Amino acid sequence: MSDKYRDTLAQSHVTTDDAEVAAAVHKICEKAHENMNQEVYRTIFNCIDLTTLNTTDSPRSVADFVDRVNAFDDEHPDLPNVAAICVFPNFAQVVRTVLDVSRVGVACVSGCFPTGQSFIETKIAETSLAVDGGADEIDIVFPVGNYLDGDYEEVCDEIAEQKAAWCDARLKVILETGALKSAKNVRDASILSIYSGADFLKTSTGKGYPGASLEAAYVMCLCIKEYFEKTGTMIGFKAAGGISVTEDAVKYYTLVKEILGEKWLTNEYFRIGASRLANNLLSDILGEETKFF
């Protein structure tokens, strides 16, 4: 009997050979030095989802965090601000209330982040509260366990149901590529997420598993490219988990540039989730060590 999920996966021409992926990434990253310049640093800075996801977060600490983003506009009016502030869903209203910079979005991890393990009703309720509180971007975790069990219908239904519950917010699906491990799993998870309504593919939670890898990013970007060539729809890409220095950020920028092209190199379609990266990148932009955030 035909299986629409496996039929869709079988139609993909994206490589699943891990050695081939590693070789391609190495070749592309040899070009990264061409992008080590001020213009690229500013672009990447403008693509950062500035993130605080700590047990110690509180309304006061999050408000102070947001105030630094407000202050950045005043103290560095010649530089682009970050793309969004990313917090737990219970702080969406705090960010929305304190944030004065209209160009900066409000993003929330949700759906029982970082594991995604709970009832679908709980996930939807949590995200609905985040959206009601002012979030315009939602980062949810791909149902890795169901995927590894081969239950693709459950995987796609869960993503589609969460997407339908808050259609006005942009949906980023976190693949948790460190748990998926292989190029084939990353490819198949990317395709299932895209066809279920993902607006963005995101690499990792940064919690509990290896974070972003260039190899996973390469496969994800190829899937995004393949989908665009079939449908004309642009899906965004977000690297997250352990990216803290400028050189590494430039490598992800280079991958996106070489695979997807210049039109993806804005914060509409390219993001890097980071906390430490912002200060390191800003230091390279200003030419002196800076700890602004």
Is the CB of residue 72 less than 8 Å from the CB of residue 103?
no
Flag whether pLDDT at 2 surpasses 60. no
pLDDT digits (tens, 9 = 90+) for 5-22: 999 999 999 999 999 999
Mean pLDDT in residue range 118-146: 95
> What's the angle, vertex CA 275, arms to CA 270 and CA 279, rounded to 5?
95
Range scoring the smallest mean pLDDT among 160-169, 246-255, 273-282: 160-169
Return the H-helix or E-strand segment holding 271. strand 270-274
Q: How would you class 142 by CB atoms within 10 Å of its CB: exposed for 0-12, middle for 13-18, buried for 19 or more?
A: buried
Q: Tell which residue, 233, 236, 242, 248, has the closest CA to residue 190.
A: 236
- The answer to whether 263 is a known catalytic residue is no
Which one of 123, 172, 238, 251 is the catalytic residue?
A: 238
Cα–Cα distance measured from residue 244 to residue 40, given in angstroms and rounded to the nearest whole number: 16
Measured CA to CA, the distance from residue 252 to residue 31 in angstroms comes to: 11
Average pLDDT, integer, range 116-135: 95
* Residue 8 CB coordination number (10 Å): 16
- Active site includes 172? no
Please say if 238 is a catalytic residue. Answer: yes
Question: Whole-prediction pTM value?
Answer: 0.96
Q: Which of 123, 163, 172, 202 is catalytic?
A: 202
Closest CA to 156 of 11, 5, 2: 5
- Give residues with Cβ within 8 angstroms of 82, minimum separation 6: 45, 46, 48, 49, 50, 69, 72, 104, 278
pLDDT tens, residue by residue, 138-153 = 999 999 999 999 999 9
Residue of 49, 123, 139, 172 with catalytic role: 139
